[in-house]
Chain A
Amino acid sequence: MSLRVGIDIGSTTVKVVVLNEQNKLLFRSYERHFSKTRERALETLHSIQDMLAGQKIKVTITGSAGLGVANAAGIDFVQEVYATAAAVNTYIPDTDAVIELGGEDAKIIFFGGALEERMNGSCAGGTGAFIDQMATLMNVTVTELDALSLKHEKIYPIASRCGVFAKSDIQPILNQGGRKEDVAASIFQAVVDQTVAGLTQGRELKGKIVFLGGPLHFLMGLRQRFVETLKLDGEHAIFPEDGDCFAAMGAALCATDYEPVLFETVLKKLEDSAETTTLVDTMPPLFENQEEYDAFVARHNANRPPEVDIHTYTGPAWLGLDSGSTTIKLALITENGGLLYTYYHSNLGNPVSIVLEQLKKIYELCGDRIEIKGAAVTGYGEDLIKNAFNCDLGLVETMAHYKAAAHFEPDVDFIIDIGGQDMKCFKIRNGAVDSIMLNEACSSGCGSFIETFAKALGYDIATFSKLGLFTQKPVNLGSRCTVFMNSSVKQAQKDGASVEDISAGLSTSIVKNAIYKVIRAASADDLGQHIVVQGGTFLNDAVLRAFEQELGRNVTRPVISGIMGAFGAALAARDLHLEKSSLLGPKALEKFVHTAKPATCGLCTNHCSLTVNSFDGGRRFISGNRCSRPLGEEPTRQPDLMRYKYAKLRALHGKGQGDGSRGRIGIPFGLNMYENLPFWFELFTRLNFEVVLSPESSRKLYLKGQRTIPSDTVCYPAKLLHGHVEALVEAGVDAIFYPCMPYNFNEGVSDNNYNCPVVAYYPELLAANVPELKTTRFLDPYFGLHRPKDFERRAGEWFFNEFQVPKRETSAAVKAAYAAYEAYKNDLRETGRAYIDQARREGKPILVVAGRPYHMDPEINHGINDLITSYGFILVTEDAVAYLEDKAPRHVLNQWTYHARMYNAARYVCTQKDMELIQLVSFGCGIDAITGDEMRSILEQGGKLYTQLKIDDISNLGAVKIRIRSLMAAIEARKEH
């Protein structure tokens, strides 16, 4: 029998193994291919020429990037999960499950019974590439990240769905001084959660588990997180010695069935296949030639502020700081905006120490000649930096950028800023910031994405982006969220695109993301006449060029585009006209110390993850809080209808007016129950059932049910239900009642009265996926409450069949239930009215928070209501004002009850001077893609600002704060006009 060779070409590495007849490993290699897949494989094969020359061998290729190579070369291909399963069957036969993490793949294989295999979908979150990205973000190597994680003290919750989310969770923690050790461990925990949640889909991971793949082979911290999370002992957690090469070994094993070929033939096939690859989808080049590029550079370099020599200048100066997500920017300016000093650097995960160092340097340069008369700070790290160094002013980023842009282009009507990790765009209307578009949802990658990619391909960012400038055929990589772009790039590599083509393609993709995904513009005119671009990413000429090409018009990029936030902050500091700045002086900086400690606030159910920053002299700054309680102050609450409603609903448990003699009915507190609970509570208690509500939602409750969630892209409110029903089973109720409700109440203001499919049918999904429900009676009948007479009849039958309740008794209870629901609605409206009256008496602004009823769950909205009222707003919900408008034709199909309420609330807000509206949208909510656009158009036509807050399972309020503060700034600006 001949030797067998397995070649595993993954997304980032090539693995080659040689097996002998006894399945013994004769050779193995594991190497990064930097997108040169075929070449790398060939090189490795050449290196073992001595072993194989002149022999007939059996060879197959496997791996996510292997298919293209195999097809082109005419070598047999075997799917990688299948190959892995074959290897495990051979080498570790009594395995129950395999967890394999690769560069961009995560897989679980279940043995026992029929083989069951799972791969991650189109999302690359929770894989090696994700860990690489996170390490880059923290400015450490992957090995260092691993070492750090082993010294953790606490674990932060980090979104386990996709890398982009995780990034926006990690950044605030870092910016606010969280320990790197804890963040490192939290990143690994996120990978574990992603794997367990995303791939097990209801099947439990137990027994003997084998861990495979590069990351699990090399990263001890990651291993530790898996073992702890799955509660495994040494016997049940197997980390095989060649765990990084198992797929290749499997491929070699699978080769047994194929015909042997001469080694030289295989080499030749691989060598010859280079020519056969073709590029399918290309775009026009960024620049045709050097002249075109030179003209472009000259045009943009014309926009520069005067530079003033800090070594000779004497007089006042103002300092602006922009503590961004990945970078820190400083600008020191003179009265007329002349630049004395600028700084732009990665924040290395610790902005405080960099600012300290820079301030010291600036003071030294200033000497006695220059007096800093004001300092302002903006950006994600605003609060921390402001408190650490006693800055005079903190301002929201949008305002800082507007100030800077207006300095260069007074007529500016559109600003787009693409930074390391976030993208901000906003229109300027009447001198105020209007329509802010942030990328908090799914395309956050931006600059840091190109950077990570550059590194993955073995380049630094500057070199990498220049590569693409003159390529004649940039590859078209699409315009989806950057995480998905990984697979587009993989495909391009397969098709034979060069690094140059990919570089240019990535620049265009990011631009397309910004224009079509975040801004959703159809043409350049949609943006504006005078567009100013800024942010570090636009320093990249390829990106800027792609942007102009895509829009078909020239834009303004000030030379200092990377530090516009800081420059704007400095201008704002100047406009304070202070006599003296409170900024820490050189002496104070000498003895400046900073320590940060994580803590969890236990004062309410939000359980905010706090970071306690201590500075010298006992100064403290606590971040991560939503209210002022952890600061030792009792919060002064503004009226808040969300809080009111929530408390009212939570009180609906127990026996009510009945005696509870018919048993205990469990009701999961989620989705449509936030609307219908007053109805069901009355109905059941009248019929002498005791109502048991599931506990309040929490992250813990979510994790409890996480493993049974079959679709990881469904919205968070739905996912929570798994934990709720499990908790009810544990509570030992006699039955759980959770009806399927395709129809909602008909409020007469829409064409139909549907619920969304998820709200309508989730009970059936729970019945099919939560094993615990087999042990408890689970009642999920189809009910519609929109036809009271018919419901009464149906309920009569149903209660008789299920519980032998006499029909007459049910009839009476149903009538009482309708009355109770009516009373609940009326109470909300009256309370809302009272709150509005109070606001008007006290001259306070009113904020209508429009969303779905379940958005009042504090675990779903993460305490956004507390944040809103802390800014001085009085908060009412959409249903408190929606009834004040009648039905009107809409530009979209208006057939969902909740949507109709939101539309009417928006219309009502347009008629009220002192009201603003914010829409809450759950990530993954497909139908809010429709309501969002319609709400925007209603509000904009009514002269109001549209603000949408996307909420997810992760409580990062950074983006929320920017929006609310920008909204406040816009209200202010409107008052002045």
Chain B
Amino acid sequence: MAKLVYDESGRLLFTKEMKEEYTLLMPQMLPVHFGMLKKLLECEGYKVDMLTTNHRGIVDEGLKYVHNDTCYPALLVIGQLIDAVKHGGYDPHKVGLLITQTGGGCRASNYIHLLRKALEKADMAYIPVVSVNLSGLEKNPGFSLTLPFVRKAVYAMMYGDIIVNVANQVRPYEVKEGAADEMIDHWSQKLVDGFQAGKGMSRAQMRQNFDAICADFAAIPVAGEPKIRVGVVGEIYVKFAPLGNNNLEKFLLSEGVEPVVPGLTDFIIFKIFNRVSDVDLYGGKWIKKAACKAFMAYIEGCQKDMIEALERSGRFRAPGTFRQLHSLVQGYLGDGNKMGEGWLLTAEMLELIHSGTNNIVCTQPFGCLPNHIVGKGMIRKLKDDYPYSNIVAIDYDPGATKINQENRIKLMLANAKGLTHQEAAPQRAPQPQREPKLAHANV
């Protein structure tokens, strides 16, 4: 059995020995993206299980071990991890927990600390918690994110985004139920296999793959009239994770509409962009800014490839670029609004409206601090500027019942159906009150 080693601050480390013996448990947020990540980690020699459990017991464990006023995603993620350790059939002395760590001003940055507190409370402080972050926080001898791995991970995210995007556009119309999901499995395996063989990780190969993905999904037989589209935005966990949003996408599908879920790429660019804008707003090292700008430019380049592939397909709608999103939000929120999803959330709503998806579900954990401002706080102005926008804010928490949430979404859908009968009024062009002060990374 692996020895427990602590660093000077008393933090339990994940050792090289543990890498051999332990299984790392990771929560799931985006099924497709994280599925590929899991496979990538396995290729690096880790034993990894992605938790896909979804039952009431998770919430109960969360309530037991996490402060109940903490945000719902923390409660779920931690509840899910602890539930897995206790009831998942693992040897608790042979598991480690993976959790992402950001460093923003939102309370969500505390997940890892809350998880450790919870483990202590559950008498399982011997379980190592491994932080996954790109800021160099909390290093572990047995776990490191190498540059090649990070690169693969970035590619996995890009692939994940395009796959989810096209699958979402196929699934509501597929003739054979499950065809889109089968194609997802096929492609995520194929891509990871490719990664191992060193394939699919150059821009050129990625472009080819993008085209192939579009072609394969476009080939899935579909039928039926175009359905009403409903956008989903929100706090990142409840927006994406079926566990967090009570299977929102499934519900929307069952209501006969087409869900449109903006991807993860913009969020990643947004997080890098914040480091650039911080320097511009408050001062800081130019070298840091330059490095971030370069990284951002790289991902923006990948995003552009994806958009072009979608446009080339002639079959799929393409999302806007990060730069377009940024220009849309001028006059709403400043560049400094970066905690949580920050201005990106409002920008995504604007982009949905501009691309003809007027119906939006804005999801957030009950009492989510940033969403007071960027979610609920902006709906009024959106409604003023775009009278035919149809936005419903849904809160998620352990006590909120599905029926209540669904009833509110149904109201939004009833409106949506009503609105399609009405002639859409000409949209107001965005009127930037402030010129974007930030020069964009050159793409």
Q: Which A residues form the contact surface with B (CB < 8 A)? A: 64, 67-68, 78-79, 81-82, 113-117, 119, 121-122, 201-203, 281, 476, 478-481, 484-485, 487-488, 490-491, 494, 512, 516-517, 520, 522, 710-711, 713-714, 718, 740, 742-743, 752, 754-758, 760-762, 764-765, 768-769, 780-784, 786-787, 789-791, 793-794, 889, 891-893, 895-896, 924, 926-930, 932-933
Contacts and interface: CB of A to CB of B under 8 A. Distances in A.
8 contacts: A64-B403, A79-B413, A119-B411, A484-B399, A487-B399, A517-B68, A757-B339, A928-B69
Q: Which residue among B335, B373, B415 has the maximum number of chain A CB atoms within 10 Å of its CB?
A: B373
A768 B282 contact: no
Contacts of A113: 387
Interface stretch (B110-118, B175-183, B226-234): B110-118
B205 interface: no
Interface string B347-381: 00000000000000000001111111110111111
Contacts of A116: 383
B401 A490 contact: yes
Contacts of B109: 893, 895
A122 B368 contact: no
Contact of A711 (B339, B376, B403): B376
Interface centre among B59, B377, B388, B397 (most CB of A within 10 A): B377
B221 interface: no
B403 A491 contact: yes
Contact of A933 (B60, B117, B122): B117
A740 B337 contact: yes
B15 to A, nearest CB: 21
Q: Which of B332, B368, B407 has the most CB of A within 10 A?
A: B407
Contact of A754 (B70, B71, B105, B407): B105
B68 A490 contact: no
A757 B113 contact: no
A809 to B, nearest CB: 21
B276 to A, nearest CB: 14
B116 A891 contact: yes
> Do most interface residues of chain B lie in helix, strand or loop, or is the interface mixed?
helix
B411 A122 contact: no
Interface string B213-257: 000000000000000000000000000000000000000000000
Interface of B: 9, 56, 59-60, 63-65, 67-71, 103-107, 109-110, 113-114, 116-117, 121-122, 281-284, 332-340, 366-374, 376-381, 383, 387-388, 395, 397-404, 406-408, 410-411, 413-415, 418-419, 422
Nearest to B390: A114
Contacts of A487: 399-401, 403-404
A174 B414 CA distance: 44
Contact of B337 (A478, A711, A764, A786): A764
B369 A480 contact: no
Nearest to B407: A64
B395 A755 contact: no
Given A480-B397, A757-B373, A769-B381, A930 B283 contact: no
A251 B406 CA distance: 19
Given A713-B367, A758-B372, A768-B377, A479 B103 contact: no
A781 B413 CA distance: 38
Contact of B9 (A754, A781, A889, A896): A889
Contacts of B374: 761
Contact of B107 (A79, A119, A926): A926
B404 A743 contact: no
Contacts of A711: 371-372, 376-377
A494 to B, nearest CB: 6
Contacts of A926: 69-71, 107, 367-369
Contacts of A757: 105-106, 339-340, 369-370, 372-373
A714 B369 CA distance: 8
B339 A760 contact: yes
Contact of A82 (B283, B381, B415): B415
Given A479-B398, A490-B401, A754-B105, A710 B380 contact: yes
Given A742-B336, A784-B282, A787-B283, A764 B399 contact: no
A756 B105 contact: yes
A476 B63 CA distance: 14
B369 A114 contact: no
Nearest to B386: A114
Contact of B381 (A79, A494, A768, A780): A768
B279 to A, nearest CB: 9
B299 to A, nearest CB: 23
A478 B58 CA distance: 12
Contact of B63 (A281, A516, A762): A516
A755 B339 CA distance: 10
Nearest to B392: A119
Closest 10 CB pairs of A and B: A480-B399, A790-B283, A754-B105, A782-B336, A929-B69, A784-B282, A484-B399, A82-B414, A765-B377, A768-B381
B399 to A, nearest CB: 2
B399 A122 contact: yes
A520 B380 contact: no
A127 to B, nearest CB: 13
Given A67-B410, A494-B403, A896-B105, 7 more contacts: A68-B403, A114-B422, A202-B380, A480-B399, A488-B401, A893-B113, A930-B110
Nearest to B332: A768
Contacts of A765: 372-373, 377-378
Interface centre among A494, A711, A781, A791 (most CB of B within 10 A): A711
B66 to A, nearest CB: 9
Contacts of A756: 105, 107, 369
Contact of B56 (A476, A516, A933): A476
B377 A895 contact: no
B87 to A, nearest CB: 16
A538 B206 CA distance: 66
Contacts of A67: 403, 406-407, 410
B398 A478 contact: yes
A742 B399 contact: no
A976 B107 CA distance: 42
A718 B367 CA distance: 13
Contacts of A517: 63, 68
B176 to A, nearest CB: 26
A522 B64 contact: yes
Given A82-B418, A487-B404, A713-B372, A768 B398 contact: no
Contact of A758 (B369, B402, B406): B369
A764 B337 CA distance: 9
Nearest to A107: B411
B410 A121 contact: no
Nearest to B437: A782
